[in-house]
């Protein structure tokens, strides 16, 4: 079924959170979530029968793919850093990047379907420039360049299924 | 000589403009609003009978431009101008220009503004009346060396203050001699920038005072009444955040003594209309004169709540030339009132203004709750103007009930899109130090802010916040980007079912 797994962190404490249909599992605690109303700015739900109203002060997206979400819950301020599966992968990929110049391969962080290619050989890219869209786990994930350079090769076609770690593109970094 | 006011120009914006317009309407007076470019669709413009553009973006080009405002007043044939607070409200030259144009200034006479607005002149007047004040220099100085020579007899720490000052600008605490000259120069240059007057005077610095002030109202015949005190000890960056009346540290004897002192000062200054005399009160409940604010203050609604008066209406009646319709003994003190200032500021970022769009703005209501605001959902909060979005005022039969109502009101107040002081005010008001009224003007410091940001909360609240955060993060992401469509679709289809 539809499931979304994220890690939430506040004041140095990280918790795993899994949202499925009408359930939320946080660490070893399980809740019935009865969603009443949701807009981009506020959400009301019942949690095991208790009413909660959460409004969004601000979402700040970080280059790592994580997001800082600041909310008001019943008049109290709470800030969480949210990191999902893709952000974790992106972070681990960023860590293994070579800092020097030369050819650099962009690999699939997970198995999936190449749903769109956003650049062509010869294009110059900046950190964050989209290379292609990889559809996986019913989510579209943009694979982005992590350093400045030129696209040397695109190794996949639109519609192609790829395995984890398969080379998608090669960048010549400068 | 009594003469009815027919039409008032409100030379201000935001919540105070709205508040003034409402009382004018109550009294059947026609109203004229003025607006800067970013305020074209602001609430205060809609609540007026007529509105005219100031054709400017910044405060200096708009609400501070005397000539533009006087020209509009002439064109619209108003017979009075209310300046609100801030902007031109304590500018004696503006008040004089209004008087000269044959228009009534709803406030004190320009001479009293000039006399009391100059801090050292006000201190001299107070000293001549035997009013207690914090030890300090009689005069203000341009040169740091002259100020230091005068400060020789005083014990450190000292406080340097701009002679033309207010709002914490041109103010510095000096802990020892070594820091004096450089601190003086900084205060002086800040004062020059903020007020066009570099003079600074020296006071002994009281470490942990309470800020208590007395609202006065005087008519043109010189009769003065005073109202129950307001305690404004909860401050950040020398600016008030929470106010209450009565003060939890003032008893009826002290109230009477402070009130009589305030009234005597107003009488000696030839004051009429509304004003506020500010004092510091130390741990031994000794009080010291601080300064006079020659305007209606932000926190006036707490006084209205405990006395039942509409101070704006009283201001207009005085400006029309009516004698006060009540005596000192007719001023009641009923229950307790609190005010929280809701600023678009980020407590986590040292209370710096937070700008953005008010994606949600839903003020509270209910028993004992009043909200004064000039903001509406969808408004942009920008850098040009004061970040005060709203004031929440609660009234109860006692302090406890007023506090309970404030907690509830702040919990109901929903704002999205900018940071506000709502959660910080709620946190402070529920702290034992505030509940037990042990706070002073020094309460808000870095430690308190850290405690606020890392406050321990029930697991279920934190879990609910985590679920809400994850949902909102995903809901916002789909607005403009590629990812998360499936999750959104799933939640959306379920949402439809649950609506039924």
- CB distance from A95 to chain B under 8 Å? no
Q: What is the pLDDT of residues B106-125, one digit of tens each?
A: 999 999 999 998 888 999 99
- CB distance from A97 to chain B under 8 Å? no
Q: What number is the average pLDDT over the span B123-150?
A: 92
- E strand or H helix that includes residue B20: helix B14-26
Closest by CA position to B172, among listed B238, B239, B118, B121: B238
**Which residues of B fall within a CB distance of 8 Å from A24?**
463, 467
B135, B289 Cβ separation under 8 angstroms: no
Instruction: List the single residue in B419, B424, B464 with the smallest CB-CB distance to A58.
Output: B419
What is the model's pLDDT at position A102?
65
**Which residues of B fall within a CB distance of 8 Å from A51?**
none
The answer to which of B235-239, B274-278, B339-343 has the lowest mean pLDDT is B235-239
Strand boundaries in B282-379, DSSP class E: 287-293, 336-343, 345-346, 352-353, 356-357, 360-362, 369-373
More confident of the two residues A14 and B152: A14
Return d(Cα B277, Cα B126) in angstroms, integer. Answer: 11
**Which residues of B fall within a CB distance of 8 Å from A71?**
465, 468-469, 472
**Which residues of B fall within a CB distance of 8 Å from A59?**
472-473, 476
Return d(Cα A149, Cα A134) in angstroms, integer. Answer: 21
- CB distance from B475 to chain A under 8 Å? yes
**Which residues of B fall within a CB distance of 8 Å from A138?**
486-487
Closest by CA position to B278, among listed B226, B214, B231, B228: B214
CA atoms within 13 A on the CB side of B340: 28
Residue A138 has pLDDT above 70, yes or no: no
- Please give, rounded to a whole number of angstroms, the shortest distance from the CA of A101 to a CA of chain B: 30
The two three-digit tokens of residue B55, written as one number: 């054709």
- Please give, rounded to a whole number of angstroms, the shortest distance from the CA of A12 to a CA of chain B: 10
Write out the DSSP string of chain A.
Answer: --EEEEEEEETTEEEEEEEETTEEEETTEEEEEEEEEE-SSEEEEEETTEEEEEEEEEEEE-TTS-EEEEEEETTEEEEEEEEEHHHHHHHHHHHT---SSEEEEEE-SSSEEEEEE---TT-EE-TT-EEEEEEETTEEEEEE--SSEEEEEE---TT-EE-TT-EEEEEEE-
- Please give, rounded to a whole number of angstroms, the shortest distance from the CA of A55 to a CA of chain B: 6
Q: Which residue of B465, B485, B489, B491 is the best one to mutate when testing the A interface, meaning the one whose CB has the most A CBs within 10 A?
A: B465
Task: Provide the phi-psi class of B329: left if phi over 0, else alpha when psi is between -120 and 50, else beta.
Answer: alpha
Q: What strand order describes the sheet that includes B158-162? A: B172-174, B158-162, B200-204
Contact A80 B453 (CB under 8 A): no
pLDDT confidence tier of residue A149, bands split at 50, 70 and 90: confident
Q: What strand order describes the sheet that includes A161-162? A: A139-144, A130-136, A112-117, A161-162
Closest by CA position to B263, among listed B157, B126, B392, B387: B126
Q: What number is the average pLDDT over the span B146-155?
A: 88
What is the model's pLDDT at position A111?
74
Q: How far apart are the first and last CA of chain B?
A: 67
Residue B301's beta-bridge partner residues?
Answer: none
CA distances (Å), origin A35, targets A46, A73, B490? 6, 15, 12
Return d(Cα B341, Cα B450) in angstroms, integer. Answer: 21
Q: What is the pLDDT of residues B25-54, one digit of tens each?
A: 999 999 999 999 999 999 999 999 999 999
Residue A1 has pLDDT above 80, yes or no: no
Taking CA–CA distances from B472, the nearest residue in chain A reads A40
- CB distance from B378 to chain A under 8 Å? no
Q: What is the pLDDT of residues A82-127, one digit of tens each?
A: 998 777 766 666 555 544 456 778 888 777 889 889 899 999 988 7
Long-range contacts of B377-383 (CB under 8 A, 24+ apart): B379/B42, B380/B38, B380/B355, B380/B356, B381/B344, B381/B353, B381/B354, B381/B355, B381/B356, B381/B357, B381/B418, B382/B38, B382/B355, B383/B353, B383/B355
Return d(Cα B42, Cα B375) in angstroms, integer. Answer: 7
Return d(Cα A135, Cα A147) in angstroms, integer. Answer: 23
What is the model's pLDDT at position A137?
58
Instruction: List the single residue in A38, A50, A77 with the smallest CB-CB distance to B491.
Output: A38
Contact A52 B468 (CB under 8 A): yes
Return d(Cα A137, Cα B54) in angstroms, integer. Answer: 56
Q: Helix B177-195 to helix B144-151 angle, to the nearest 10 degrees?
A: 130
- CB distance from B464 to chain A under 8 Å? yes
Q: What number is the average pLDDT over the span A26-42?
A: 92
What is the model's pLDDT at position A99?
47
**Which residues of B fall within a CB distance of 8 Å from A56?**
359, 416, 472, 476
Catalytic residues of B: 295
- Could you say which residues from 291 to 310 on chain B have a Cβ atom under 8 Å away from some Cβ of chain A? none
Taking CA–CA distances from A42, the nearest residue in chain B reads B472
The answer to which of A88-92, B219-223, B295-299, B409-413 has the lowest mean pLDDT is A88-92
Q: What is the pLDDT of residues B430-484, one digit of tens each?
A: 999 999 999 999 898 888 998 998 888 999 999 999 999 999 998 887 654 333 3
Contact B470 A4 (CB under 8 A): yes
The answer to which of B132-136, B158-162, B189-193, B396-400 has the lowest mean pLDDT is B189-193
Residue A136 has pLDDT above 60, yes or no: yes
DSSP annotation of B341 reads: E
Contact A57 B418 (CB under 8 A): yes
What average pLDDT does the structure give for chain A? 85
- Please give, rounded to a whole number of angstroms, the shortest distance from the CA of B318 to a CA of chain A: 41
CA atoms within 13 A on the CB side of B404: 7
What percent of chain A has pLDDT above 90?
Answer: 39
CA atoms within 13 A on the CB side of B416: 18
- Could you say which residues from 51 to 80 on chain A have a Cβ atom under 8 Å away from some Cβ of chain B? 52-59, 67, 69-80
Return d(Cα B274, Cα B314) in angstroms, integer. Answer: 8
Longest dimension (CA), chain B: 79
């Amino acid at each position: 079924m539809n499931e979304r797994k994220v890690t939430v962190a506040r004041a140095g404490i990280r918790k795993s959170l899994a949202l499925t249909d009408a359930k939320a599992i946080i660490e070893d605690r399980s809740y019935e979530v009865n969603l009443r109303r949701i807009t981009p700015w506020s959400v009301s739900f019942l949690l095991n029968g208790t009413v909660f109203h959460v409004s969004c002060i601000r979402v700040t997206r970080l280059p790592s793919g994580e997001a800082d979400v600041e909310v008001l819950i019943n008049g109290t301020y709470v800030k969480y850093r949210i990191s999902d599966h893709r952000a974790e992968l992106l972070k681990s990929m960023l860590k293994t990047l070579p800092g020097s110049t030369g050819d650099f391969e962009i690999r699939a962080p997970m198995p999936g379907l190449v749903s769109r290619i956003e650049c062509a050989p010869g294009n110059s890219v900046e950190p964050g420039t989209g290379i292609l869209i990889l559809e996986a786990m019913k989510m579209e994930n943009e694979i982005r360049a992590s350093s400045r350079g030129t696209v040397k090769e695109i190794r996949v076609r639109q519609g192609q299924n790829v395995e984890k770690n398969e080379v998608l593109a090669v960048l010549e970094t400068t | 000589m009594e003469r009815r006011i027919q039409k008032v120009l409100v030379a201000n914006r935001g919540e105070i403009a709205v508040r003034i317009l409402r009382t004018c309407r109550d009294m059947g007076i026609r109203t004229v609003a003025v607006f800067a470019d970013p305020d074209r669709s602001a609430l205060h413009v809609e609540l007026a009978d007529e509105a005219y553009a100031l054709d400017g973006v910044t405060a200096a080009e708009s609400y501070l431009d005397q000539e533009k405002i006087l020209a509009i007043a002439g064109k619209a044939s108003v017979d009075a101008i209310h300046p609100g607070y801030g902007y031109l409200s304590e500018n004696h030259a503006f008040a004089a220009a209004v008087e000269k144009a044959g228009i009534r200034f709803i406030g004190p006479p320009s001479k009293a503004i000039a006399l009391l607005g100059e801090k050292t002149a006000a201190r001299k007047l107070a000293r001549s009346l035997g009013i207690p004040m914090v030890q300090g220099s009689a005069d203000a100085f341009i040169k740091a060396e002259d100020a230091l020579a005068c400060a020789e007899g005083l014990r450190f720490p000292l406080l340097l203050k701009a002679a033309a000052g207010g709002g914490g600008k041109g103010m510095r605490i000096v802990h020892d001699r070594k820091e004096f000259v450089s601190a003086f120069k900084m205060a002086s240059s800040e004062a020059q920038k903020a007020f066009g007057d570099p003079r600074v005077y020296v006071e002994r610095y009281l470490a942990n005072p309470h800020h208590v002030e007395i609202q006065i109202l005087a008519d043109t015949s010189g009769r003065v009444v005073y109202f129950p005190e307001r305690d404004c000890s909860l401050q950040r960056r020398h600016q008030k955040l929470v106010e209450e009346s009565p003060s939890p540290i003032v008893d009826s004897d002290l109230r009477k003594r402070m009130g009589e002192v305030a009234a005597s000062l107003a009488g000696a200054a030839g004051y009429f209309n509304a004003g506020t005399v500010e004092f510091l009160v130390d741990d031994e409940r000794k009080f010291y004169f601080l300064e006079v604010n020659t305007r209606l203050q932000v926190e006036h609604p707490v006084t209205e709540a405990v006395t039942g008066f509409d101070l704006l209406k009283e201001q207009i009646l005085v400006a029309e030339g009516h004698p006060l319709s009540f005596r000192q003994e007719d001023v009641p003190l009923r229950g307790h009132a609190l005010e929280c200032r809701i600023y678009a500021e980020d407590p986590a970022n040292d209370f710096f203004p937070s700008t953005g769009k008010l994606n949600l703005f839903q003020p509270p209501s209910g028993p004992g709750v009043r909200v004064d605001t000039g903001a509406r959902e969808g408004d942009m909060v920008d850098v040009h103007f004061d970040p005060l979005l709203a004031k929440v005022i609660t009234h109860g039969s006692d302090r406890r009930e007023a506090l309970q109502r404030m907690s509830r009101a702040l919990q109901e107040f929903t704002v999205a899109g900018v940071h506000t002081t709502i959660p910080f005010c709620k946190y402070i008001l529920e702290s034992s130090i505030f509940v037990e009224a042990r706070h002073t003007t020094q309460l808000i410091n870095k430690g308190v802010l850290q405690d606020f940001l890392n406050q321990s909360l029930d697991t279920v609240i934190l879990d609910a916040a985590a679920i809400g955060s994850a949902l909102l993060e995903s809901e916002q992401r789909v607005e403009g980007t590629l990812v998360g469509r499936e999750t959104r679709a799933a939640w959306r289809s379920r949402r439809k079912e649950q609506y039924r």
